Amino acid sequence: MDSLEVEMTSYVLLALMSGPQLSGFGLGYSVSIVHWLSQQQNAFGGFASTQDTVVALQALAKYSFATYSPAGTVTVTITSPSGLITTFTITQSNRLLYQERQLQEVTGDYNIKAEGQGCVYVQFNLRYNIPPPPDRSSFIISASASGNCKVPNPSLEVTITVMYNGQRLETNMVVIDVKPLSGFRVDETSVQLVNSNSKSTDGAVKRVDQIEGNTIIYLNGLTNGEEKVYTLKIVQDLPVENLKPAAVKVYDYYETSERAATEYTSPCPVQ
């Protein structure tokens, strides 16, 4: 699912629901957008990312408000391939209640019939395990640490090398999620692009946040095939024995399926 497409489509629905009705773009037109958005939802009611989920749910809520009817009851009957019948009844008293049934027959054709007046949303969720796909990461990332191991306050420089190798000429906004080594904290003011191009904003650091101990670096974007190198400083606050590797992740903010991850270790001897 393309997260950017979901967000853009949701903004269209929001515009249609928020302004005066345009000729040819009434509720009949909007229902096709709602149908498409509903097909993009995951089993938990959300979408690919936080951003598109917020916008899409806001748009769907606007549509629900516009189509709401204070009266009406709908009975939804689901018939399994063997003829087993499951019934859901939606009334005004339980219309906000989530109803769920486990279907016993995995394969075959199910029949759905709705009777009454009203609008209901029915979703089927099928979960299964498949072998992991071959590693064709859209991003290539590596990380290493070096620096001062002297106590009492060791400080290390973490070097992160990242390159976009996907199908597009350039990415959307890119996120680099850096987890510091145990007992260390990241000096967020130290984040910098090493091989910067004064005429280009591609790969430039947009902002840096600290979230639950991790440092989140937001980049304007990356150009396909161009390698970027970033450095940041981590400082030890608390000595920790037998340090384990720390993870670094990179992904496209709007195409979260395009991602890669790596680890780095401490160059300091075991304390």
Please state the rounded mean pLDDT for residues 158-177: 92
Q: Are residues 145 and 219 in the same domain?
A: yes
Please state the rounded mean pLDDT for residues 237-243: 82
What is the per-residue pLDDT across 183-225, written as a single tens digit (0 to 9) for each?
A: 888 887 887 776 555 445 667 888 888 888 899 999 999 999 9
Four-residue CA torsion sign, 38, 43, 46, 50: negative
What gap in Å lies between CA 53 and CA 3, rounded to an integer? 9
Q: Are residues 196 and 219 in the same domain?
A: yes
Q: Are residues 182 and 87 in the same domain?
A: no
156 - beta bridge partners? 147, 234
| pLDDT greater than 80 at residue 75 | yes
> At 221, which CATH number?
2.60.40.690
| pLDDT greater than 90 at residue 76 | yes
Q: Are residues 212 and 110 in the same domain?
A: no
Q: Are residues 162 and 50 in the same domain?
A: no
Query: Does residue 47 fall inside a structural domain?
Result: yes
Higher confidence at residue 249 or residue 4?
Answer: 249
Q: What is the pLDDT at residue 198?
A: 43
Query: Does residue 239 fall inside a structural domain?
Result: yes
Q: What is the pLDDT at residue 159?
A: 94
Enclosing domain of residue 198: 139-264
Query: Does residue 165 fall inside a structural domain?
Result: yes
Torsion of CA 188, 250, 231, 169, to 10 degrees: -120
Query: Does residue 133 fall inside a structural domain?
Result: no
Q: What is the pLDDT at residue 229?
A: 92
Q: Are residues 63 and 160 in the same domain?
A: no
Prediction pTM value: 0.58
